[in-house]
Amino acid sequence: MNIVKAIPAARINQKCAEADAKGILGGLAFKLVPDETQAFVDAILVAKKRGARTVTISPWSERASLIVAALRLETQGLEFWCLPADTQRAEGAKEKMPGRMSDVEVFLHADGEELATELMGQLERERGLVLAPATPSNGLNRAIFLISIPKSGTHLLIELARAMGFADGRQFEFIAIPGRWHYVEFSNSHTTAPGFFIDSVRREAFGNRHHPFPSTPTLFSYRHPLDVLVSEANYYHKSGRTLFSGYLEGLDFEQRVLRLLDDPWLLGSLRDRVGQFTAWLELSNVIPVSFEELVGAKGGGSVQAQRQLIWSVLLKLQVSGVVGDIAKRVFNPVSATFRAPKIGSHREVLSAAAWEVVRSQPADYFERFGYSPDPASPLMSVRCQEFLRRPLRLQPPHNVDTPVLLEQGFFGHNVVLFKNRFFGIPCSSGPLDLSTMPDEELSQLPCSDQALILREIILDKIVSERVERLVADALRLRDDNPAG
């Protein structure tokens, strides 16, 4: 059963639309609206109040004609454009000239892949509003995963997810909850690719094929490896920050850097640690996000790079948002691991001895992320633009048709995942094969689309049964002793 709920009809109102259409003149915003003619009309009217004068609608359709007709009746001063291919059937619209961007771009595509392709064509936009239809499978109607290299700006990635409207999901438990961000495995934001694709396959039932990762958008943060090194050296030795802090606490900064560069006994080399994350870059459902782009001007980066990155992520995830508002929220100095993040700090603090070790080691992992160990090389990854423009590709959701035992003996029940739902099977029932049970029998079992809720259902059931027994016992005692 699909746990994503359809969007209620006609939920848009003028106040919400006005708040979401901020920044038409000089700003940049993406907005999902309910797939209804009036919803698009309302959003365009609000954009007009904020200065919009030109509107492009594509593809042209009966709905496009209805939108234009409704707006003609209610207001003057809007100019409507259409694509050259739609000119013959577009009524009341002019042909859009090549290279021109309208104030408002309206997409009415019913096909999800076509919509995603058209939205990527808006990457070069620097101002205005893009409108698209909300569906049960875009925006906050799906979950996202977060993965980060340690010390690559994990808190920035979390704040980006929050700023886009995703609630904290943190630890992943078998099913990704729509509207929330999760770590891809356990409560670990730093899951390595080999750890996930090799170790979990050995560890989890049926090779971990029930994991929704391939069909879920994933944000992955990376950073210049030498800035990662400096951040490690400033953090890992502090008591309580890592389990191995005692391994580094007796060393000064220089000694910590040298050990972290190449430690044969515990931590491995910098290449070993960073290199385990390189495979994430190659997956089509992963959106690589560099620290240097995300940190913005406050961290020594570029306002323009931060703006481009946020805009690209909004378009790929199809999440409503105003780029400027999101940028203001990403840099959060209240974060527990915040330490005045800055681009290129390694150039100021690494010693000659450290640089000698760097030059003696293979540089292949630098190149995979688009960096160079050369002190004169660019601080930004040369792959940033490649990742900005790479389309997001998701595999179809995989329904688990084979029952997967997830937990045994939870208050007398076994927790089983089957067809994307969690079932609580009483241990007293003996072996049951859910795949052969009729739907009416399945419906009698405690079930939910979230493991936590299923556990609550089981506990409520047990409490109710015990209360009923206590009441029955009390009534029986009263009947047995009428005089008492």
* pLDDT score of 349: 96
355 with 385, same domain?
yes
281 with 364, same domain?
yes
125 with 146, same domain?
no
Answer with the residue of higher pLDDT: 342 or 360.
360
Nearest of 3, 93, 1 to residue 54 by alpha carbon: 93
Q: Answer yes or no: is 397 within a domain.
A: no
At how many degrees (to 10) do helices 352-360 and 253-261 cross? 0
155 with 204, same domain?
yes
Which domain does 458 fall in, by range? 404-480
Q: Which two tokens stand for residue 339?
A: 């330490």
- Least trusted range by pLDDT, from 25-34, 235-244, 252-261: 25-34
Confidence category of residue 340, pLDDT binned at 50, 70, 90: low
383 SS3 class: coil
Confidence category of residue 102, pLDDT binned at 50, 70, 90: very high
219 SS3 class: strand
Q: Report the largest interatomic distance among the alpha carbons of the chain, rounded to a whole angstrom.
A: 97
d(CA 266, CA 356): 22
Residue 466, pLDDT > 90, answer no
132 with 153, same domain?
no
**Peptide bond connecting 341 to the previous residue in cis, omega within 30 degrees of 0:** no
Which residues, in sequence order, are CB contacts of 364 under 8 Å at separation 6+? 271, 275
127 with 271, same domain?
no
Q: Answer yes or no: is 4 within a domain.
A: no
Q: Which two tokens stand for residue 400?
A: 């688990």
Handedness of CA 432, 438, 439, 444 (dihedral sign): negative
Which residues, in sequence order, are CB contacts of 374 under 8 Å at separation 6+? none
Residue 213, pLDDT > 90, answer yes
pLDDT in tens, 107-161: 999 899 999 999 999 999 999 999 999 998 899 999 999 999 999 999 999 999 9
Q: Answer yes or no: is 373 within a domain.
A: yes
d(CA 56, CA 273): 48
* pLDDT score of 229: 97
Measured from the Cβ of residue 358, the count of other Cβ atoms closer than 10 Å reads: 21
CATH of the domain at 116: 3.40.50
Which phi and psi (to 5°) does residue 313 adopt? -65, -40
365 SS3 class: helix
Average pLDDT, the chain: 87
pLDDT in tens, 396-418: 877 667 788 878 888 889 888 88
Residue 104, pLDDT > 70, answer yes
8 Å CB contact between 105 and 53? no
Answer with the residue of higher pLDDT: 72 or 123.
123
Q: If phi over 0 gives left and psi between -120 and 50 gives alpha, with beta otherwise, what is residue 387? A: alpha
Mean pLDDT of the 381-385 span: 97
* pLDDT score of 45: 92
Q: Is 176 exposed, middle or buried (0-12, 13-18, 19+ CB in 10 A)?
A: buried
d(CA 354, CA 346): 10
d(CA 231, CA 154): 12
Nearest of 61, 141, 57 to residue 102 by alpha carbon: 57
Q: Answer yes or no: is 9 within a domain.
A: no
359 with 417, same domain?
no
441 with 381, same domain?
no
Cα angle vertex 212, ends 199, 145, to 5°?
Answer: 85
Residue 361, pLDDT > 50, answer yes
Tally of domains within the chain: 3
* pLDDT score of 86: 80
129 with 158, same domain?
no
* pLDDT score of 21: 44
Q: Answer yes or no: is 198 within a domain.
A: yes
Residue 355, pLDDT > 60, answer yes
Q: Which two tokens stand for residue 344?
A: 């290129």
332 with 409, same domain?
no
Domain boundary among 389, 417, 444: 389
Residue 89, pLDDT > 80, answer no
d(CA 261, CA 268): 8
* pLDDT score of 9: 33
pLDDT in tens, 310-336: 999 999 999 999 999 999 999 766 555
d(CA 462, CA 105): 55
338 with 411, same domain?
no
Q: Answer yes or no: is 70 within a domain.
A: yes
Confidence category of residue 390, pLDDT binned at 50, 70, 90: very high
418 membership: H or E segment, kind and range: strand 413-418
Domain boundary among 343, 358, 389: 389
Q: Answer yes or no: is 75 within a domain.
A: yes
* pLDDT score of 400: 64
Mean pLDDT of the 47-71 span: 90
d(CA 157, CA 151): 11
Which phi and psi (to 5°) does residue 54 adopt? -125, 140
Residue 7, pLDDT > 50, answer no
* pLDDT score of 276: 97
Confidence category of residue 235, pLDDT binned at 50, 70, 90: very high
Domain boundary among 136, 163, 198: 136
Confidence category of residue 74, pLDDT binned at 50, 70, 90: low
Mean pLDDT of the 34-59 span: 93
Confidence category of residue 22, pLDDT binned at 50, 70, 90: very low
Q: Answer yes or no: is 3 within a domain.
A: no
Q: How many C-alpha atoms does 21 have within 13 Å on its Cβ side?
A: 28
* pLDDT score of 211: 87
Hey, what amino acid is at 175?
I
DSSP 110-142: -SHHHHHHHHHTTTT--SEEEEEEE-TTSGGGS
Mean pLDDT of the 293-305 span: 91
179 with 252, same domain?
yes
* pLDDT score of 85: 81
The pTM assigned to this predicted structure is 0.83
